Amino acid sequence: MSGDKRSSRITPAAERAEVTDGGVVGSRYWLHSQPMPMVGRPCSCPLEKMVEQLAKLPQKPSVWCWTNSADNVPEGMQFLRSSPDSHAASVRPELDSWMLQNPKSWLVIDGRGQRIPSAGGKLEEILRELPTVVVMIVEDTNKALLFPQWDFPL
């Protein structure tokens, strides 16, 4: 094979490729729903549907709602106070502190309106890294969403 000019090959390096979650299309329109929220895989859900789906679970988890007012907390959930005007640097420590006190609880994020801090544009990253189940309440599932919809199949 001395005359073979293909002796060296160049292959693309994996570290150069940016992998985006498989369900994302365009500006966060999801192709598929998610059957269950999982640690590291938050999902979105309208309030009424989330309450219905929580009721279908064989064992209802302890659920905390992170929102700006106790009036916005759905029945059966506990209130985790949020200040939409909080400094971005305070969001992760606040949620980490809550996590230490409630390691087996689910966290429901009130994504309707301006009820939670923006976290300096890093809220999605923070929520994905929390070691708990996260569900974001949304108004309209026909709009672009941060996370896929929760659609419990039973």
pLDDT, tens digit (0-9, with 9 covering 90-100), for 45-104: 999 999 999 998 889 999 999 999 999 999 999 999 988 888 888 889 999 999 999 999
Using an 8 Å Cβ cutoff, are 36 and 152 in contact? yes
Can you read off the two tokens belonging to residue 55?
């009721």
Higher confidence at residue 134 or residue 153?
134
Domain assignment of residue 151, yes or no: no
Domain assignment of residue 119, yes or no: yes
Can you give the pLDDT at residue 33? 78
Domain assignment of residue 28, yes or no: no
Domain assignment of residue 10, yes or no: no
pLDDT in tens, 12-36: 444 433 334 444 444 555 667 788 8
Is 38 strand, coil or helix? strand
Domain assignment of residue 83, yes or no: yes
Using an 8 Å Cβ cutoff, are 91 and 41 in contact? no
Domain assignment of residue 71, yes or no: yes
Q: How many separate domains does the chain show?
A: 1
Can you give the pLDDT at residue 23? 42
d(C-alpha 12, C-alpha 132), whole Å: 35
Q: What is the CATH number of the domain that holds 80?
A: 3.40.50
Domain assignment of residue 102, yes or no: yes
Summarize the confidence of residues 106-113 as an average pLDDT.
90
d(C-alpha 62, C-alpha 143), whole Å: 29
Is 39 strand, coil or helix? coil
pLDDT in tens, 36-46: 889 999 999 99
Can you give the pLDDT at residue 26? 44
Structural domain harbouring 116: 37-137
- Nearest partner of 24 among 149, 152, 140, 132, judged by Cα: 149
Alpha helices (H) along the chain: 47-56, 91-101, 123-129
Domain assignment of residue 16, yes or no: no
Can you give the pLDDT at residue 65? 94
